[in-house]
């Protein structure tokens, strides 16, 4: 992914700023840090990209979505509609705030569909945790219509979609709160890091306190701060935030290059029989970190994967068999193999995760192959990749397809 491709003097400069002061902790000690506040700078850079009124940097994207859920008021016994295609942290976050995940269908956007959400609503549904997958964005107009009609809380997990938007609005800002991941594999990385965003001041204040043992961060003496809510420790370090500062500043350039290369790939591959593409809610708002192709059926996709491996073409994911991103491999979720008992196990769940049927999701993910786009490619690299993908698909697609 792009963040780790563009790593050098800028990151070292930001980290050295912190090392020279010796202040690795993000709060207080004003005189000792000589005006160096990297977590604050990181948050400011995220606000520039997203247009969010409030941003709060935390340890990782998993913490960011957990904080978003909690600060939005999601808790014990609340049913939350979730997708079966996401990094597993989304589901873990819902469970660990005490809520109950209810799986719903995705569509060819790779995200929850309005129809899927509507069909999963029960009298106990409190919210929707919408995940924007593989750099794209969901179809927000129809989704917001369902959310508003049923008075649901919307929380967005945009861990894979920093820089994406829908009709001019950044992902993460359609609902009560949103979250991004800045781990090692994202468009920008802090090594480990995540950012919570919202346009609602009250929600932000809860998140700010919740992520640091309930501290209000009012006043200059940490031990004497008020504690408006119970919380836990999700603080980011100044070192990680420093890397995030430099990386986030590079995102506009990365987006520009990614969009160019993705268009080149799609223009070429659209001429190959059997290849179609994922439907992005707003193509103009796509971060273009992935080229997501759809094959005619699961059997053809699996044959294409075999052909790609045989030809030595790398840099792709076949999510249908991925251990962490699709429900088929989540045996520990299906069986609720937990270290300690969770509220969902006590209260009961409306779905049997082992027997529930999600045919549309199975069909879409079975056909999906995603290629990471690299901003450090040359145009010749892009042409070569397109040629190789096309050749492998032609070998896999039946002649009469």
What is residue 4's predicted lDDT score, i.e. its pLDDT? 81
What is residue 2's predicted lDDT score, i.e. its pLDDT? 65
Catalytic positions, please?
186
- Of 129, 73, 123, residue with least CA distance to 101: 129
- With a pLDDT cut of 90, the percent of the chain lying above it is 94
Q: What is the rounded distance in angstroms from the CA atom of residue 375 to the CA atom of residue 355? A: 42
256 Cβ neighbours under 8 A, 6+ residues apart: none
Q: What is the mean pLDDT of the chain?
A: 96
Model confidence at 400, in pLDDT bands (50, 70, 90)? low
Summarised one tens digit per residue, pLDDT across range 63-77 is 999 999 999 999 999
Does 361 have pLDDT greater than 80? yes
For range 346-372, the mean pLDDT? 97
Does 120 have pLDDT greater than 60? yes
Long-range (24+ apart) CB contacts under 8 A made by 93-96 are 93/62, 93/65, 93/66, 93/69, 93/129, 93/157, 94/69, 94/129, 95/342, 95/344, 96/66, 96/342
Helices 238-249 and 38-50 meet at what angle, rounded to 10? 30
Domains assigned to the chain: 2-250 (3.40.640.10), 252-396 (3.90.1150.10)
For range 346-368, the mean pLDDT? 97
For range 253-279, the mean pLDDT? 97
Helices (H), 284-401: 298-310, 331-334, 343-347, 359-367, 379-396
For range 141-167, the mean pLDDT? 98
Does 96 have pLDDT greater than 90? yes
Does 297 have pLDDT greater than 70? yes
Q: What is the rounded distance in angstroms from the CA atom of residue 350 to the CA atom of residue 64? A: 27
Model confidence at 8, in pLDDT bands (50, 70, 90)? very high
Does 1 have pLDDT greater than 70? no
Does 151 have pLDDT greater than 80? yes
**Cα four-point dihedral sign 356, 361, 365, 370:** negative
């Amino acid at each position: 992914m792009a963040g780790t491709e563009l790593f050098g003097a800028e990151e070292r400069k930001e980290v050295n700023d912190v090392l020279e002061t010796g202040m690795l902790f993000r709060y207080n000690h004003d005189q000792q840090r000589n005006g160096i506040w990297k977590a604050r700078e990181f948050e400011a850079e995220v606000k520039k990209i997203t247009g969010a009124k409030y941003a709060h940097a935390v340890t990782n994207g998993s913490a960011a979505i957990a904080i978003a859920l909690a600060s939005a008021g999601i808790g014990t016994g609340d049913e939350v509609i979730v997708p079966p295609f996401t990094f597993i942290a989304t589901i873990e976050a819902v469970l660990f705030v005490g809520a109950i995940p209810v799986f719903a269908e995705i569509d060819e956007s790779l995200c929850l569909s309005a129809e899927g959400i509507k069909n999963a609503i029960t009298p106990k549904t409190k919210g929707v945790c919408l995940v924007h997958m593989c750099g794209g964005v969901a179809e927000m107009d129809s989704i917001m219509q369902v959310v508003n009609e049923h008075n649901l809380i919307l929380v967005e997990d945009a861990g894979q979609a920093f820089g994406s938007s829908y009709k001019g609005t950044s992902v993460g800002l359609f609902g009560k709160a949103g979250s991004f991941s800045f781990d090692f594999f994202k468009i920008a990385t802090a090594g480990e890091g995540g950012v919570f965003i919202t346009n609602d001041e009250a929600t932000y204040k809860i998140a700010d306190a919740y992520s640091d043992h309930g501290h209000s961060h009012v006043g200059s003496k940490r031990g004497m701060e008020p504690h408006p809510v119970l919380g836990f420790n999700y603080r980011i370090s100044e070192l990680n935030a420093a890397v995030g500062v430099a990386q986030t500043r590079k995102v506009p350039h990365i987006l520009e290059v990614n969009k160019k290369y993705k268009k080149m790939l799609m223009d070429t591959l659209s001429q190959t029989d059997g290849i179609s593409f994922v439907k992005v809610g707003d193509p103009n708002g796509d971060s273009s970190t992935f080229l997501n192709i759809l094959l005619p059926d699961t059997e053809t996709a699996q044959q294409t994967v075999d052909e790609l491996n045989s030809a030595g073409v790398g840099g792709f994911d076949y999510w249908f068999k991925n251990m962490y991103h699709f429900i088929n491999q989540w045996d520990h979720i299906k069986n609720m193999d937990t270290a300690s008992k969770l509220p969902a196990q006590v209260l009961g769940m409306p779905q049997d995760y082992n027997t529930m049927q999600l045919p549309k999701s199975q069909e879409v993910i079975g056909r999906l192959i995603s290629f990471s786009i690299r901003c450090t490619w040359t145009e010749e690299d892009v042409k070569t990749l397109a040629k190789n993908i096309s050749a492998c698909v032609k070998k896999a697609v039946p002649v009469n397809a």
